[in-house]
Amino acid sequence: MQRFERNISILGRSRKTFESYSRHVASMALHFQCLPTDLDPEQVQDYLYELQQRSQTPSQTYFKHTVYGLRFLLKSEGLPYDYLKLPAIKRAKKLPVILSREEIWRMLQSSDLLKHKLLIGLLYGCGLRCMEVRNIELSHLDFDRCLLHIVQSKGNKDRYVPLSVHLIRGIKSYIAVDRPVKYLFEGTGNPTGQGFDSRYSQRGVQWVIKTVCKRAGILKDVHTHMLRHSYATHLLEDGVNIITVQKLLGHANIDSTMVYLHCCQTPDTLPHSPLDTVFARCSRATK
């Protein structure tokens, strides 16, 4: 396990990745009472089949992370991927769910606290991941240039994104009243504002989004990443080129950004329902 943790760290993967992979590998080790690398391929196939056949079947994510964890274990031990005959994981071709601009506005209007308005405004207005909004430090805010510096995010990369003047005005008011010490959004567990635990919790951010959406009467199953999806889609609809959107999102691969082209509605390619044409033509003919 120490070797597993070391190799994941050396390859630049996050602590969260190690915890996820090791948990799934450990479950398999406990099931067979031995290391997965001591199993033969048939035993591994039986285990993976059992995961899919349980009465309370784990999600596809659980199955996928078990396979990914085993692959990383093989890599750590210097064994080839085909050693355990692991299946290929096909990526589901799903389009992200997008919030309309009107729904974003309703969320902002339904937030009673300025802190909650700013969380929503930053997640959407800057296209941030949940971890990124939690990691914002006061030193990352550049009000003069209207920029937010996102430091060492996914893939250990930095990037800058534009800050709305509306956000800047709200952030200044929030700082003047709440007086955060290090992080812009700090939890209540550590009043000194020092260390990792002083950040606003992931669960806290998720609770804000769920609560505000319910209050706003939004029927979609909204999660924090949906605001990032909406940010990218709305930028494309506003005419921002896809290379710029890729940089703003911090995507290493343009393919990750291309998916939003299937969600956006630009004026020159705006689709329509043929039912609208039927009503438009036939209603005129009957008058």
Question: Does residue 174 carry a catalytic annotation?
Answer: no
Question: Does residue 106 carry a catalytic annotation?
Answer: no
User: Which residue has 């997008």 as its token pair?
Assistant: 98
Rounded Cα gap, residues 194 and 204, in angstroms: 19
Compute the radius of gyration of the chain from its Cα atoms. Answer: 23
Tens of pLDDT along the chain (287 residues)? 888 888 888 877 778 888 888 999 999 999 999 988 888 888 988 888 888 776 555 557 788 888 888 888 888 888 887 777 787 777 667 889 999 999 999 999 999 999 999 999 999 999 999 999 999 999 999 999 999 999 988 878 899 999 999 999 999 999 999 999 999 999 875 444 444 467 899 999 999 999 999 999 999 999 999 999 999 999 999 989 999 999 999 998 999 999 998 888 776 655 666 767 677 777 666 65
Residue 264, pLDDT score: 84
Rounded Cα gap, residues 68 and 32, in angstroms: 18
Residue 267, pLDDT score: 64
Residue 117, pLDDT score: 96
Query: Residues 228, 229, 231, 234: which is the catalytic one?
Result: 228
Residue 59, pLDDT score: 59
Q: Are 96 and 229 in contact (CB under 8 A)?
A: yes
Asked whether the whole model's pTM tops 0.85, one would answer: no
Task: Give the contacts of 215 (CB within 8 A, at least 6 positions apart).
Answer: 110
Chain-centre distance of CA 65, in angstroms? Answer: 17
Residue 193, pLDDT score: 42
Query: Residues 13, 154, 182, 215: which is the catalytic one?
Result: 154
Q: Look up residue 133 and give its two tokens.
A: 């909004």
Question: Does residue 65 carry a catalytic annotation?
Answer: no
Question: Does residue 21 carry a catalytic annotation?
Answer: no
Query: Residues 115, 140, 149, 225: which is the catalytic one?
Result: 225
Residue 77, pLDDT score: 81
Question: Does residue 225 carry a catalytic annotation?
Answer: yes
Question: Does residue 281 carry a catalytic annotation?
Answer: no
Domains in the chain, CATH or no CATH each: 2-83 (1.10.150), 101-262 (1.10.443.10)
